[in-house]
Structure 1
Amino acid sequence: MHEEVPALTATPLLETRSLTKEFRGFRAVSGVDLAVERGTIHALVGPNGAGKTTLFNLLTGFLTPTSGTVHFDGHDITGKAPEQIAPLGIARSFQITSLFEAMTLQEHLELALASPTGLANQWWRSVARLSRFRKRSLELLDQVGLADRAGAPASSLAYGQKRALELAIAMALDPKLLLLDEPTAGMGLEDVDRTIGLVKSLSAGRTVVFVDHNMHVVGSLADRVTVLQSGQVLAEGPYDQVRADERVITAYLGAVHE
């Protein structure tokens, strides 16, 4: 975990106020007030159906709230589309890998680095022009331990390596806020521990919000934990405090944490 957590009196980097999302009368998220402090790693946890994924999609613009607001770094981003939110400094890594299997790792990174410049939209005509991003792409691959696979196609990667590549792609945008959706889902223990170390290293100088069912991951990474149940905040605080909360034990942690 981060050694120094900014004072909670500072203006949050990400904040929601009374955030609500209804689907045909069903409230998946109900009046959620969330404050993510700058420079912290913040976990969203809860039992299945708690509203974690819906909340995550509201934060990233993949869903529009029924009511309430989302603020990021002084901007009201409520209802904005993902492509409008990303340039403000938010990058998201998905639970399900979405890579171009035939493209090399380096090509993935060059495209990601080119996206803010508009070159990525013409990549089929200007592959040579993407070479300007070669050095940075190799640096990013090195950060996630994949520099030696730069010229390999994405299809050749093991599952954990694909998730590491996705992290590198997200980092190509140099985000202020990195959002990770189940970063260790489907991984074996070795890959889980490697990913924990990777997220710790990538979190330096930025803020991370992640959803994960693995409480070993949450306990290893999170400075602060928000527990959701039935679309509402059940508890929030440091991991050790939250895991000892009787309401949380009853709702979730006691059933899965040894």
Structure 2
Amino acid sequence: MPSQASPEATGAAGSAAVLLETRDLTKEFRGFRAVSDVSLRVVEGTIHALVGPNGAGKTTLFNLLTGFLTPTSGQVLLGDRDVTGMQPEQIAHLGIARSFQITSLFDQMSVVDHVELALASPTGLGYRFWRSDSTMKQFRPRAMELLEQVGLTDRSGAAAGSLAYGQKRALELALALALDPKLLLLDEPTAGMGLEDVDRTIALVKKVSAGRTVVFVDHNMHVVGSLADTVTVLQSGQVLAEGTYEQVRNDQKVITAYLGQAGEQHV
């Protein structure tokens, strides 16, 4: 089941507190509109899914939300703060963390060292390559807490390169959580996983979403149905439909434009 949001937070934003909002957000690439006039409202404390066929604009929208792309027009607001055009590191400091679709880990570095480095980075220590082991060890207790959250305690001393694929994604999630974000953006969190890892990741996202707001992209409708309080369906860079999973899966426009193409086995 999705996270337990308040009634007004489920589905449409209603009068609940909106943590993330876009207003007529548009991104053009040499005349091609990858994202077109998207107005999105993400309610605080909920899990919000972005779905749509390939080329729908999901990744471009993610990049606009996190500052990796600058919009052609429109606004991005975090709470009541306009973050449009801010650099990724500035947005991260405001409490947004993103987990990427493709993991970027140091194969020879241990799992716990990855997390310690992530915890140190906001303090500036993470960029000092002369740092002593004793300095970094101050982050060890919190690093182990995060590894326990994502189920990697028994792999803390292992080299990241030795982890199975699902474990690497779990480590990536721990690195995002190290920033203590109020908004967590997950880009295809179950991409490339087998069924067992998918179910484990669903449980993991439910666990770490407590007290946070989560926005995620995923093609697997089982994942979307299991996690999302609200689902926004994109097509050709525009919002096609929005509502609960049950509402959008029964929307004829969605069935025709997306689910029908993807295959009924995903519904």
* TM-score grouping bracket, smaller chain normalisation: over 0.9
Which residue of structure 1 lines up, in the alignment, with residue 244 of structure 2? 238
Name the SS for the 1:191 alignment partner. Answer: helix
Which residue of structure 2 lines up, in the alignment, with residue 79 of structure 1? 85
Residues 125 and 131, structure 2, Cα contact 8 Å, conserved in 1:
no
Match of 2:221 among 215, 218, 237: 215
Name the SS for the 1:10 alignment partner. Answer: coil
User: Which aligned runs of 4 or more in structure 1 are off by greater than 3 angstroms?
Assistant: none
Match of 1:16 among 5, 11, 22: 22
Q: What is the rounded CA distance, in whole Å, between the counterparts of 2:7 and 2:111 in structure 1?
A: 35
**What aligned pairs does 1:41-60 form with structure 2 within 5 A after superposition?**
41-60=47-66
Which residue of structure 1 lines up, in the alignment, with residue 122 of structure 2? 116
Residues 104 and 152, structure 1, Cα contact 8 Å, conserved in 2:
yes
1:221-252 per-residue CA deviation (whole Å, 9 max, x = no partner) reads 00000000010000000000000000000111
Deviation at 1:5, TM superposition (A): 3.0
Residues 218 and 224, structure 2, Cα contact 8 Å, conserved in 1:
yes
Deviation at 1:11, TM superposition (A): 3.2
Q: What is the rounded CA distance, in whole Å, between the counterparts of 2:151 and 2:264 in structure 1?
A: 30
Letter in 1 for 2:263: V
Deviation at 1:2, TM superposition (A): 1.3
User: Which of 115-124 and 221-230 deviates more?
Assistant: 115-124
Letter in 2 for 1:112: A
Match of 1:155 among 157, 161, 179: 161
Residue correspondences, number = 258
Which residue of structure 2 lines up, in the alignment, with residue 89 of structure 1? 95
Letter in 1 for 2:201: T
Deviation at 1:121, TM superposition (A): 0.6
Residues 105 and 160, structure 2, Cα contact 8 Å, conserved in 1:
yes
Which residue of structure 1 lines up, in the alignment, with residue 11 of structure 2? none
Which residue of structure 2 lines up, in the alignment, with residue 38 of structure 1? 44
CA 1:18/1:131 → structure 2, altered by over 3 Å: closer, same or farther? same
**What are the ranges of 5 or more consecutive residues in structure 1 without an aligned counterpart?**
none
Which residue of structure 2 lines up, in the alignment, with residue 4 of structure 1? 5
Q: What is the rounded CA distance, in whole Å, between the counterparts of 1:213 and 1:43 in structure 2?
A: 10
Which residue of structure 1 lines up, in the alignment, with residue 151 of structure 2? 145
1:40-90 per-residue CA deviation (whole Å, 9 max, x = no partner) reads 000000011110110011001110000000000221110111100001100
Q: What is the rounded CA distance, in whole Å, between the counterparts of 2:200 and 2:6 in structure 1?
A: 23
Name the SS for the 1:13 alignment partner. Answer: strand
Q: In the alignment, is residue 251 of structure 1 matched against residue 257 of structure 2? A: yes
Q: In the alignment, is residue 133 of structure 1 matched against residue 139 of structure 2? A: yes
Deviation at 1:4, TM superposition (A): 2.6
**What are the ranges of 5 or more consecutive residues in structure 2 without an aligned counterpart?**
9-13
Letter in 2 for 1:171: L
Deviation at 1:256, TM superposition (A): 2.5
TM-score (normalised: structure 2): 0.95
Deviation at 1:3, TM superposition (A): 1.9
Which residue of structure 1 lines up, in the alignment, with residue 105 of structure 2? 99
Q: What is the rounded CA distance, in whole Å, between the counterparts of 1:5 and 1:184 in structure 2?
A: 27
Q: What is the rounded CA distance, in whole Å, between the counterparts of 1:170 and 1:145 in structure 2?
A: 15
Q: What is the rounded CA distance, in whole Å, between the counterparts of 1:6 and 1:59 in structure 2?
A: 26
Which residue of structure 1 lines up, in the alignment, with residue 230 of structure 2? 224
Name the SS for the 1:218 alignment partner. Answer: helix
TM-score (normalised: structure 1): 0.98
Name the SS for the 2:18 alignment partner. Answer: coil
